[in-house]
Structure 1
Amino acid sequence: DNISFTIKVPILMYHYVSTPPNFGDELRVRLSTEPVAFREQMRYLAENGFTTIDLYDLHLAITNQRELPEKPVILTFDDGHRDHYTNVFPVLQEFG
């Protein structure tokens, strides 16, 4: 009765969605996504039929309690930075 299956769901992690400072903090530079690039990524997902789900939806699919949409994707935003509200929220509203 060992049934094995594979569920593949891309998980896109964002830390900062802002233009990084021109000085100093190399880690912040590497963890930043420019707002224009983020918007283009969201446009790509929308135009190519991806549907955002959350981690609980994935859990339900893994435990056979829910089917996933045809092209699921999970977006995560770490640390609750202000730029998530100012640069991310309007884009998510625009693309659903």
Structure 2
Amino acid sequence: MFSTYAHKLRWSYRKNWPDIQGILLKKYPDFVFNSSPSSLENQVPVFVFHSVDPITFEEQLLYLKKNGYRTLNADDLLQILKGKKTLQERSVVLTFDDGV
């Protein structure tokens, strides 16, 4: 039983090492750890997805929704960049690259 637990722990550590390393080395932007929207002042985080696991993606979308984030489409972002629209707090952009 212990060996099964140890195996699962090693597997989980290996699988999540890039995220663990990113957290430890502070490679993530401040807004990831800061609950104050002012940490993003006039910035829009852009999340670029190259492959999407449906369950993980749903969890990520639920996190954004539960934490008050709103997604912008390309037209909204362009209008904001041109100064024709006001940037709302906790706005993010999601993009998808099919890699083809």
Aligned length: 60
Larger RCO: Structure 1 or Structure 2 (Cα < 8 Å, ≥ 6 residues apart)? 1
8 Å contact from structure 1 (residues 7, 62) kept in 2? no
Local SS of the residue matching 2:63:
helix
Greater C-alpha Rg: 2
Measured after TM superposition, the shift of residue 61 of structure 1 is 1.1
2:47 to 2, 6, 12: 12
Unmatched 5+ residue regions in structure 1?
1-5, 18-33, 82-96
Local SS of the residue matching 2:80:
helix
Q: Which residue of 2 is the match for residue 92 of structure 1?
A: none
Runs of 4+ in 1 over 2 A off after TM superposition: none
**What is the Cα-based RMSD across aligned positions, in Å?**
2.1
Measured after TM superposition, the shift of residue 55 of structure 1 is 2.5
Q: Percent identity among equivalent residues?
A: 40
Write out per-residue CA displacement over residues 41-81 of structure 1, whole angstroms, 9 at most, x where no aligned residue. Answer: 11100001111102221221122100122210101111299
Distance 1:62 1:15 in 2: 25
What amino acid sits opposite 2:61 in the alignment?
A: M
8 Å contact from structure 1 (residues 54, 74) kept in 2? yes
Distance 1:41 1:70 in 2: 18
Q: Which residue of 1 is the match for residue 79 of structure 2?
A: 60
- Flag the structure with higher helix content: 2
Measured after TM superposition, the shift of residue 14 of structure 1 is 1.0
Distance 2:55 2:98 in 1: 21
Q: TM-score, normalised by structure 2?
A: 0.51
8 Å contact from structure 2 (residues 76, 85) kept in 1? yes
